[in-house]
Amino acid sequence: MQELDTARQASVRVNRKSDNRVVIEKDLMTEQMVLAMGPQHPSTHGVLKLECFTDGEVITEAIPCLGYLHRCFEKTCERVDYPAVVPYTDRLDYLAAMNSEFAYAIAVEKLLDIEIPRRVEFIRVIVAELNRIASHLVAIGTYGIDLGAFTPFLFCFRDREIILGLLEWASGARMLYNYIWIGGLAYDVPSDFLKRVKEFVAYFRPKAVELCNLLTENEIFVKRTWGIGIMPADVAINYGWSGPMLRGSGVQWDLRRNDPYSIYPELDFKVPVPDGKSSVVGDCLSRHLVRAYEMDESLKIIEQCLDKIPSSEGFNSRSAIPKRIRPKAGEVYGRAENPRGELGFYIESDGKSTKPIRCKARSSCFVNLSAMKDMSKGQLIPDLVAIIGSIDIVLGEVDR
């Protein structure tokens, strides 16, 4: 017994042989190691640092360290007038600048209580859905690279270039557009723009199917994402998830459908969620599939807008834009469905100033990333790369 007590104190293993001899051996134990991934790392999709605590190859905890891209967006909004905030919103989620402008315009227009011309609403939805497709193409293409598939990246960026060309034609800018203004648009679209968009829809529909199959029928890609980073629906809701992340957990929630804005109530489209056959509901593969299916739904939305958009005859894209914006005193929260989830703006006005006294941005990327600790626990280090890619973060929106 004295030998056994000594062994326990020394953290060693005791083997008792058949002849009752006691053999004491040192136990093989692993030490916890702290592994820093980032802030300059190819799989973190920006300047993000993950402080990973590992037991061998197994992640015991992964803590995101933020702030490397902080640009004081919310404080800057208090120093410029309402229209001047629009270019700054472009730089939040710089892969979906049209959508960010849309969300901010909705919030301020709600505070002003002004009516937007119908042609403006249709154009806004068209450019926002084009930007959604372009954003998802980046997400899918870079996700393939993260997991070792290079060809989909080339296909995605080939088709994304066409969309960027269309948006540049409409706004004059390639990525940071400053196109959706409070009350209207910077300009009406060029005369042949809608025709070119229609041609793109016809071209891209079979390409979207091909791109989806290129990854989902790839055995290596499926094995790297199947059952990895599972997030149950109730936990996702408690974290405040939204967008493809929440829908990937099986929750059919989309602001365009559940809290509709603009002309979305007039349009027919589905909200894709995983069926549990092609993936494990809530895993990395589910989140990838939701983004792939959403591109097809965006094409449907664009087609309907092209069919219903009012004529440009006698149209002035700036007719509803106030010459000087000084909203009445009050506060408002406006939100929209961005490619990465709900982007909302809480704006407070004192009724006297032409500048907001408070402009708070609710970032979907920040909220989605907050669950990193739960998703990564018990996963292997290579699986951490798959989990980060499935979140599809943009650090400009995370840090603000």
pLDDT digits (tens, 9 = 90+) for 72-84: 888 998 899 999 9
Same domain? For 47 and 166 the reply is no
CATH of the domain at 212: 1.10.645.10
Instruction: Assign 19 a pLDDT band (cuts: 50, 70, 90).
Output: very low
Place of tokens 């629906």: 233
Find the domain containing 77 and state its range.
70-399
Looking at the fold, whether 109 and 192 belong to one and the same domain comes out as: yes
Inside any domain, residue 64: no
The answer on 8 and 121 residing in a single domain is no
CA distance 349 to 301: 34
User: Does 13 lie in the same domain as 111?
Assistant: no
DSSP letters along 77-98, please? Answer: HTTS-TGGGHHHHHTTSTTSHH
pLDDT of the residue at 89? 92
pLDDT in tens, 332-361: 999 999 999 899 999 998 888 888 999 998
- pLDDT of amino acid 18: 44
* Structure tokens belonging to residue 382: 């290579």
CA distance 382 to 65: 19
Q: How many structural domains are present in the chain?
A: 2
Shared domain check, 178 and 147:
yes
pLDDT band for position 67 (cuts 50, 70, 90): confident
Pair 10, 129 in one domain: no
The predicted pLDDT at position 25 comes to 45
Q: Is the pLDDT of residue 127 over 90?
A: yes
Give burial (CB, 10 Å; 0-12/13-18/19+) of 59. Answer: buried
Long-range residue pairs from 272-279, CB within 8 A, at least 24 positions apart, any chain: 272/247, 272/297, 273/247, 273/248, 274/248, 274/250, 276/250, 278/216, 279/225, 279/226
User: For residue 79, is it within any domain?
Assistant: yes
* Domain end among 36, 59, 82: 59
pLDDT for 197 equals: 94
Tokens for 148, please give them. Answer: 């070792």
Same domain assignment for residues 337 and 259: yes
> What percentage of the chain carries pLDDT values higher than 70?
92
Is the model more confident about 295 or about 322?
A: 295
**215 located within any domain:** yes
pLDDT beyond 80 at 387: yes
pLDDT at 29 over 70: no
| Nearest of 100, 81, 82 to residue 91 by alpha carbon | 100
Instruction: Give the integer Cα–Cα distance in Å for 229 and 245.
Output: 11
Q: Are residues 271 and 342 in the same domain?
A: yes
Average pLDDT over residues 122-133: 94
SS3 letters across 136-155: HHHHHHHHHHHCCCCHHHHH
Residues 6+ apart with CB under 8 A from 78: 355, 356, 357, 358, 359
- Is there a domain that residue 65 lies in? no
Q: State whether 42 and 142 are in the same domain.
A: no
In a domain? residue 43: yes
Dihedral pair phi/psi, residue 167, rounded to 5°: -70, -35
Instruction: Look up tokens 């402080």; give the residue.
Output: 51
The two three-digit tokens of residue 102, written as one number: 């849309």
45 shares a domain with 120: no
| Residue 127 and residue 251 in one domain | yes
Residues 174-193: tens digit of each pLDDT:
889 999 999 889 888 988 99
Phi, psi angle pair for 196, to nearest 5°: -70, -35
Question: What per-residue confidence (pLDDT) applies to 30?
Answer: 66
Q: If residue 200 lies in a helix (H) or strand (E), which one and from where to where?
A: helix 193-216
Q: Which of 31, 59, 87 is the last residue of a domain?
A: 59
Q: Which of 268, 322, 314, 315 is nearest to 119 (CA)?
A: 315
Does any domain span residue 299? yes
Phi, psi at 344, each rounded to 5°: -125, 150
Inform me whether the pLDDT recorded for 241 exceeds 50: yes
Q: Is residue 247 part of a domain?
A: yes
**Secondary-structure percent of the chain, ordered helix, strand, coil, rounded to 5:** 50, 15, 40
3-state secondary structure (DSSP) of residue 16: strand
- Kindly indicate the confidence band of residue 4, based on its pLDDT and cuts at 50, 70 and 90: very low
Domain finish residue from 59, 80, 99: 59
- Residue 167: what pLDDT? 93
Co-location of 187 and 42 in the same domain: no
Average pLDDT over residues 367-381: 85
